[in-house]
């Protein structure tokens, strides 16, 4: 392939193409500085927020930009095309989009192998930032080469490109620090930045194929709309998690943070790296009730919590949700942030659990997401409200209180379901209690579906009406997934089903006959914390 003569300008650039190049200069400038500020969120939990971390981040960005300038200038002289420029932006942006999938593992790898905080923070910064910023740094010299028509205009063109890029950098820095990070979180913002970069790259790559100026202008306008609207981010309802609480806990040393004794529970809150655990101690056993990833608000570290979300596919509509049992609030917070058009009531019998969840897990309520201190059965008895979905995860240590396992309680749940509604119960398998629970549920509800977590729990979904066909459920799950952009995809989770256990000798659990402790005795050691 013949190389371009570096002594002559590239082919004349149309006004539309020039506008697009200047616009993308603004976008890439904003992405680079926004990503630098975002880098602190990735590194601080592992290497602290001190001067070494910031020195590493700033040095890495400057180094990457330097390398990018050299490579971009070299490449521009040899392949001066708008499409090639778009490819460089695309490569860097794809890395940014992929980062949330491996960032935690990468940073833990560095942390485990490098004891020195200076070297560790520098290596981590290089791993996170060097590659994408290098490719984005190639933009300015490449853009100048494409825009330059004569030597007499070189100063004006260079100044305009770097000026627009710098304005973008200022906006990216201030916007990220003052608005985006507090309102979106690090993962959603990473996806937004990567998505904006991909959109910008596509503009440049398709420009040569557009026959009319109007089409190119439309693409540019579309990008502007995307950037303003935040379409590429997984938008989450703000205000349901106090990130300041989580950030402060990340700085705390590992170990037990508190012990709270209430009339219902002996509550322990423990931190290990970026995981915060709430556990109950009962009769010498330590039962994990909730686990939260302090580094990622929308993570569900415990397998059964993901399985519980399969129930979302069963109701005909989703407007009102009730959850009985709080723990650290991971499920109610996850649903509340992902579903801004749905109201969620969470009922927890122990006010101490609610206090601990707010103080240490950072959960917050508002007019749409409420936390109520009350026995779940009493709440259903007193409250006539109908719910599209009711989730029950009300373990007291190793077992569910008997009055939440009986035929009478299940009948009450059924009464509180809206037409076409569904309920889901977290049930431990492998015990006599499990079989009796399934039989009792089947005596009240015409449809019982079992979705195992793979770790001993089964999300048991019931409906007051015959369950929809499999293809209808799969379609509904896909539609919900698309609408709310759930972190963990619903259709694959929905496909995980187990068969009904043999129930010939199982007994119904009623308010009159409920030997819960006896039935569940063989399963206690299985649930003891390892």
Here the CATH number for the domain that contains residue 365 is 3.40.50.150
Q: Is residue 251 part of a domain?
A: no
Q: How far is the CA of 377 from the CAs of 194, 288, 343, 450, in angstroms?
A: 47, 23, 20, 23
- Of 206, 229, 252, the position where a domain reaches its end is 229
pLDDT of residue 416: 97
User: Average pLDDT per run of 10 along the chain, which is 530 residues long?
Assistant: 44 67 90 90 74 89 93 88 89 92 87 85 92 92 81 79 90 86 76 90 74 45 44 65 87 91 90 91 78 88 92 95 94 94 95 94 93 94 95 78 90 96 91 88 96 91 92 90 85 89 87 69 41
Q: Are strands 255-261 and 369-373 parallel, antiparallel or unpaired?
A: unpaired
Cα–Cα distance, 338 to 323 (Å, whole number): 16
pLDDT of residue 207: 65
Q: Is residue 237 part of a domain?
A: no
- Quickly list DSSP for 37-57: HHHHHHHHHHH-SSHHHHHHH
Q: Helix count (H) and strand count (E) of the chain?
A: 21, 11
- Of 229, 263, 283, the position where a domain reaches its end is 229
- Of 229, 258, 282, the position where a domain reaches its end is 229
Q: Is residue 234 part of a domain?
A: no
CB atoms under 10 Å from CB of 483, counted, come to 12
Q: Is residue 255 part of a domain?
A: no
Residues 386 and 492 in one domain: yes
Residues 96 and 217 in one domain: yes
**DSSP annotation of 232:** T
Cα–Cα distance, 127 to 139 (Å, whole number): 21
Task: State which residues form the domain around 163.
Answer: 17-229
Residues 201 and 341 in one domain: no
Residues 499 and 374 in one domain: yes
Residues 219 and 310 in one domain: no
| Token output for 416 | 């509180």
Q: Is residue 382 part of a domain?
A: yes
pLDDT of residue 157: 84
Question: End-to-end distance of the chain based on CA atoms, in angstroms?
Answer: 63
What domain count does the chain have?
2
Residues 341 and 441 in one domain: yes
Residues 117 and 27 in one domain: yes
Cα dihedral sign for 223, 229, 231, 234?
Answer: positive
| Token output for 74 | 């070299």
Q: Is residue 290 part of a domain?
A: no
pLDDT of residue 517: 60
Residues 327 and 189 in one domain: no
* Alpha helices (H) in 48-116, listed in sequence order: 51-78, 82-113
pTM: 0.60
pLDDT of residue 413: 97
Cα–Cα distance, 434 to 448 (Å, whole number): 13
Cα–Cα distance, 54 to 121 (Å, whole number): 9
CATH assignment at residue 127: 1.20.1250
């Amino acid at each position: 392939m013949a190389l371009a003569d570096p002594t002559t300008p590239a082919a004349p650039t149309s006004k539309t193409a020039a506008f697009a190049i200047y616009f993308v200069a603004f976008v890439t400038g904003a992405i680079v500085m926004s990503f630098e500020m975002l880098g602190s969120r990735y590194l601080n939990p592992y290497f602290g927020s001190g001067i070494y971390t910031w020195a590493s981040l700033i040095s890495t960005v400057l180094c990457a930009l330097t390398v990018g300038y050299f490579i971009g200038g070299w490449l521009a002289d040899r392949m001066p095309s708008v499409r090639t420029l778009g490819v460089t932006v695309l490569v860097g942006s794809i890395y940014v989009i992929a980062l949330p999938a491996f960032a935690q593992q990468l940073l833990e790898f560095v942390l485990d192998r490098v004891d020195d905080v200076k070297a560790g923070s520098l290596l981590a910064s290089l791993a996170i930032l060097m590659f994408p910023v290098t490719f984005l740094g190639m933009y300015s010299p490449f853009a100048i080469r494409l825009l330059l028509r004569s030597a007499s205009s070189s100063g004006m063109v260079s100044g305009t490109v770097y000026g627009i890029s710098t304005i973008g950098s200022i906006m990216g820095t201030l916007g990220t620090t003052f608005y985006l990070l507090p309102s979106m979180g690090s993962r959603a913002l990473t996806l937004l930045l990567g998505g904006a970069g991909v959109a910008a790259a596509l503009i440049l790559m398709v420009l040569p194929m557009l026959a009319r100026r109007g089409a190119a202008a439309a693409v540019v306008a579309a990008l502007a709309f995307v950037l303003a609207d935040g379409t590429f981010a997984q938008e989450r309802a703000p205000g349901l998690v106090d990130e300041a609480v989580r950030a402060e806990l990340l700085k705390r040393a590992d170990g037990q943070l508190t012990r709270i004794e209430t009339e219902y529970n002996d509550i322990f809150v423990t931190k290990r790296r970026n995981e915060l655990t709430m556990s109950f101690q009962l009769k010498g056993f330590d039962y994990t009730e909730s686990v939260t990833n302090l580094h990622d608000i929308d993570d569900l570290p415990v397998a059964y919590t993901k399985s519980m979300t399969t129930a979302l596919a069963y109701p005909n509509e989703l407007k009102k949700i009730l959850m009985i049992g709080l723990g650290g609030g991971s499920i109610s917070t996850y649903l509340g942030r992902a579903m801004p058009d749905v109201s969620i009531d969470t009922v927890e019998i122990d006010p101490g659990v609610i206090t601990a969840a707010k103080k240490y897990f950072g959960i917050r309520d508002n007019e749409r997401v409420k936390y109520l201190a009350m026995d779940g059965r009493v709440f259903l008895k007193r409250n006539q409200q109908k719910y599209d979905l009711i989730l029950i995860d009300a373990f007291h240590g190793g077992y569910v209180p008997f009055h939440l396992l009986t035929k009478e309680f299940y009948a009450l749940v059924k009464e509180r379901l809206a037409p076409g509604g569904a309920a889901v119960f977290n049930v431990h398998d492998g015990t006599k209690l499990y079989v009796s629970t399934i039989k009792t549920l089947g005596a009240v509800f015409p449809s019982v579906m079992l979705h195992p977590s793979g770790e001993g729990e089964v999300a048991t979904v019931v409906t007051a009406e015959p369950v929809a066909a499999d293809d209808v459920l799969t379609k509904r799950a896909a539609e919900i997934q698309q609408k709310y952009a759930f972190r963990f995809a619903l259709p694959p989770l929905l496909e995980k089903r187990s068969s009904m256990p043999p129930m010939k000798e199982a007994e119904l659990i009623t308010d009159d006959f409920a030997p819960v402790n006896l039935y569940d005795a063989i399963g206690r050691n299985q649930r003891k914390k390892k």
